[in-house]
Amino acid sequence: MKKRYLFYLKKKDEGYEPKKAKDILQKLRNLVEPHSNKEELRDIRISRYFIELDVGSDENAYFIGINEAFVSALSQVDSVLLIDEITEEKENRSIEETLYSAVFLFNMERFWKSHEVLEAIWRTASGSNKKFLNGFILVDAAYVHLQKGEDDIYFSILGRSIEKLSGAPEYLFNVNLKLLLENVEKILSEKRAFYFKIMIK
């Protein structure tokens, strides 16, 4: 069965910037190709602190002990900090618990994972909560594109998030949506990308 993983590499080299994401991804593909069985480097996202790689594999187990050569090849770039298997998010957690998890991931700049966590509750949400969750998901999606060096898409998606977040209460399950919206509005008004934290009361 096809498996997917998120690999997190320590980012020590300042040359690894989002605007160079496509070139870095190709460099990494060339690096691991001689050591790959059925692994595939699908995508790359570059935060200020780590490199996040989306890896596909036909192997029905973790990489460690299966293809150590593949992991070692990636380690030539820098240390592998974490290998996280992508699985279906549990839908039996409360909205509050899931939101807190998504905020934690967002504040760690793990935007793709935060997006996935939120979608699990967005699918079953209704009314205004569904709209506000969609706004949060769009902010996550925007930052995924920023980490890929796609600034125009980043600003465009943030613009779409404004519509979903407008009219939101100051807090949704103790998550400060007002401050989230203010940060997004500031980014768009200044046309300047920056990172910020989402606050919980």
In the chain, where the domains are located: 3-85, 95-190
Determine the pLDDT at residue 91.
61
Res. 161: pLDDT tops 90: yes
Residues 6+ apart with CB under 8 A from 4: 42, 54, 55, 56, 57, 85, 86
Q: End-to-end distance of the chain based on CA atoms, in angstroms? A: 42
Res. 59: pLDDT tops 80: no
Average model confidence (pLDDT) for the chain? 89
Determine the pLDDT at residue 90.
62
Mean pLDDT over residues 124-152, rounded? 95
Determine the pLDDT at residue 134.
96
Res. 24: pLDDT tops 70: yes
**Fold: same for 3-85 and 95-190:** no
**What is the model's pTM?**
0.91
One of 3.30.2320, 2.60.40, 3.40.50, 3.30.70 is the CATH number of 3-85, namely 3.30.70
Mean pLDDT over residues 129-137, rounded? 95
Determine the pLDDT at residue 169.
93
Res. 115: pLDDT tops 80: yes
Q: Per-residue confidence at 152, pLDDT binned at 50, 70, 90? A: very high
Listed as own residue / partner, the contacts of 55-63 with beta carbons closer than 8 Å and 24 or more positions apart are 55/4, 55/5, 55/6, 55/7, 56/2, 56/3, 56/4, 56/5, 57/2, 57/3, 57/4, 57/5, 58/1, 58/2, 58/3, 59/3, 60/1, 60/3, 63/5, 63/39
Determine the pLDDT at residue 110.
97
Q: Per-residue confidence at 137, pLDDT binned at 50, 70, 90? A: very high
At which residue do the structure tokens 């069965």 appear?
1
Mean pLDDT over residues 49-63, rounded? 78
CATH superfamily to which 95-190 belongs = TTHA0068-like (1.10.3450.10)
